[in-house]
Amino acid sequence: MSEQRHGVSPLPTFTIVVPTRDRPRQLSACLQGIARLTYPRDRFDVVVVNDGGEPPEAQIVAGRPVLRVTLVSQPYAGPGVARNTGVAQASGDYIAFLGDDCEPGDDWLQVLAARFAHIPDCLLGGRIVNALPQNPCSAASDHLIGYLYAHYNRDPQQAHFFTPNNMAVPRSLFTALGGFDPSMGSTGEDRELCDRWRDRGHRIIYAPEALVYHRHPLTLAGFWRQQVGYGRGSRRYRRMQRQPREGTIAPERLSFYIDLVRFPFARERGWRAWLGAALLGLSQIANAAGFLLEAVRERSRLMRGHR
């Protein structure tokens, strides 16, 4: 019998939105992970947004026998805009955002559905697990996210910040809020969205049982570029928050950075902990460099505009 005949509400529908750009191997693994989901196949679909890269038709075709996949292509505009494009093509009650280098746990959508059954108008963030623990730079990037989640989401029922690698929202509310702000560029759009979500009176909740495995191989140069990008996004975020709203993530005290560098020692032992601490220290230098670089570029654009 159907769920309706038993008097039970049907499971909500999801659209999984995956932005991608020239990462065919990661995307293939991502789609394979989605194909392993145990959620009913007729209750979710996938929208892959090609953000200015080579069209990933081979990966999409490989996933179509078991998944309903829609491929959308756009000129390069950054992952925030790509996610907005994906949502515009979505039909699910809820949007589940996933990175193209991420693979969800088999029960990912069941966990999200159970949470939404209790609070249907919240933004949910799940736990991101580093799938490359032997890569020091990947591990350091994971430590950074783990520390930020621990710091900003001390109360899981009143959380403040999540990345879009593992985030889910009601489609109608996300659309009503205008989606990710395209002016944020390629980083920082997640922080701005979380601020705006809370500012409109909606809750953000941490669901650590909603697992996603992050498989992002990083070299030292790649780690540096990643952190510089975060710094640039932080500058754009600060520029938009000159009149901070309640719940806005504010500039941090020195103790925040000291605790950040100490954080790997709670997860690692021996030389791995020391290397993780050193890399997190380096991340803050790169972050500051990116912040200053964006500030200089802003000033240059402003001066050209006054000529």
Express the helix, strand and coil content of the chain in percent, nearest 5 each.
50, 15, 35
pLDDT at 62 (0 to 100): 64
* Residue 236 is assigned to a structural domain of this protein: no
**How far is the C-alpha of 244 from the C-alpha of 104, rounded, in Å?**
34
Q: How far apart are the first and last CA of the chain?
A: 72
* Residue 127 is assigned to a structural domain of this protein: yes
AA letter at 256: F
pLDDT at 60 (0 to 100): 72
* Residue 181 is assigned to a structural domain of this protein: yes
- The pTM assigned to this predicted structure is 0.89
Q: Which domain holds residue 208?
A: 14-217
* Residue 53 is assigned to a structural domain of this protein: yes
Pairing of strands 204-214, 166-170: unpaired
CATH number at residue 192: 3.90.550.10
* Residue 92 is assigned to a structural domain of this protein: yes
Hey, which residues does 19 pair with through a beta bridge?
Answer: 49
| pLDDT tens across the length of the chain (307 residues) | 334 444 556 899 999 999 999 999 999 999 999 999 999 999 999 999 999 988 887 767 666 678 899 999 999 999 999 999 999 999 999 999 999 999 999 999 999 999 999 999 999 999 999 999 999 999 999 999 999 999 999 999 999 999 999 999 999 999 999 999 988 777 788 989 999 999 999 999 999 999 999 999 999 999 999 999 989 888 888 777 644 444 444 557 889 999 999 999 999 899 999 999 999 999 999 999 998 998 888 788 777 765 5
pLDDT at 116 (0 to 100): 97
pLDDT at 238 (0 to 100): 78
Contacts of residue 183, defined as CB under 8 A and 6 or more positions apart, other chains included, come to 236, 240
* Residue 47 is assigned to a structural domain of this protein: yes
pLDDT at 9 (0 to 100): 67
pLDDT at 63 (0 to 100): 60
Question: What is the domain count for the chain?
Answer: 1
